[in-house]
């Protein structure tokens, strides 16, 4: 297992340096409105939208847990901006992700696979990050593989040289491991 709380969702690993023009605010608003009306989509009061692609049967994640996840993050135009490699999930403190992802993970059960549509205010806001331009909504397909208590995550990380688990919830690092 590798634990890299801030490596996840920096959204710069897979984007090309010469990024195509980002979706406009009008296109984003239209996408969010249309997606909100799609069958099976739940819209939270803060604007987070999600649909359950597969229901798991494991325990529900708690906001204080570490989550082992597989994910793909895209802009609304389909441009992939980050994701895990097949068979190489990432583990992060649930509270350390972008607000929309943290909110969704704390509602998920182990084994769940959800599609999130995260408005900019719950993602990287007006500043953007890495290759994600300012004001962009994100579409994230995420599978919660396991939810672990912080103590268990740190214990497992101790034997893994690629782990960055610590006592602090904020670790300023950027690490992407791609074999």
Q: pLDDT per residue over 52-97, tens digit each? A: 999 999 999 999 999 999 999 999 999 999 899 988 999 999 999 8
Structural tokens at position 133: 């331009």
pLDDT at 160: 54
3-state DSSP assignment of residue 22: coil
| Contact criterion met (CB below 8 Å) for 1 and 154 | no
Tokens encoding 46: 């803060």
Which CATH code fits 25-156?
3.10.50.40
Q: What is the spatial distance between Cα 3 and Cα 91, in angstroms, rounded to a whole number?
A: 5
Q: What confidence category does residue 10 fall into, taking pLDDT thresholds of 50, 70 and 90?
A: very low
pLDDT of res. 97: 87
5 neighbors 96 (Cβ within 8 angstroms) = yes
Is the pLDDT at 9 greater than 70? The verdict is no
Strands 49-54 and 138-148: unpaired
Name 177's Cβ contacts closer than 8 Å, sequence gap at least 6.
Answer: 2, 88, 162
More confidently predicted of 15 and 126: 126
Q: Which of 11-15, 45-49, 53-57, 147-151 has the lowest mean pLDDT?
A: 11-15
Stated pTM of the model: 0.78
Strand, helix or coil for residue 26: helix
Q: Is the pLDDT of residue 3 over 50?
A: no
As a whole number, the mean pLDDT across the chain is 82
Residue 130 backbone zone (phi > 0: left; psi -120 to 50: alpha; other: beta): left
Whether the per-residue pLDDT at 5 is higher than 60: the answer is no
pLDDT at residue 21, rounded to an integer: 86
Tokens of 169: 């919830």
């Amino acid at each position: 297992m590798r634990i890299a709380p801030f490596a996840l969702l920096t959204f710069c690993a897979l984007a090309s340096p010469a990024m195509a023009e980002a979706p406009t605010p009008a296109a984003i608003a239209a996408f969010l409105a249309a997606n909100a009306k799609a069958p099976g989509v739940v819209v939270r009061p803060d604007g987070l939208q999600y649909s359950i692609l597969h229901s798991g049967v494991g325990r529900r994640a708690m906001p204080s847990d570490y989550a082992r996840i597989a994910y793909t993050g895209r802009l609304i135009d389909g441009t992939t901006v980050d994701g895990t490699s097949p068979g190489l999930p990432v583990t992060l403190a649930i509270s350390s992700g972008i607000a929309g992802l943290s909110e969704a993970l704390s509602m998920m059960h182990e084994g769940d696979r959800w599609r999130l549509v995260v408005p900019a205010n719950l993602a990287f806001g007006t500043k953007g990050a890495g290759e994600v331009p300012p004001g962009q909504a994100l579409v994230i397909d995420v599978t919660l593989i396991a939810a672990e208590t912080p103590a268990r995550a740190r214990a497992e990380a101790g034997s893994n040289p690629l782990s960055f688990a610590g006592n602090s919830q904020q670790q300023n690092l950027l690490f992407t491991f791609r074999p």
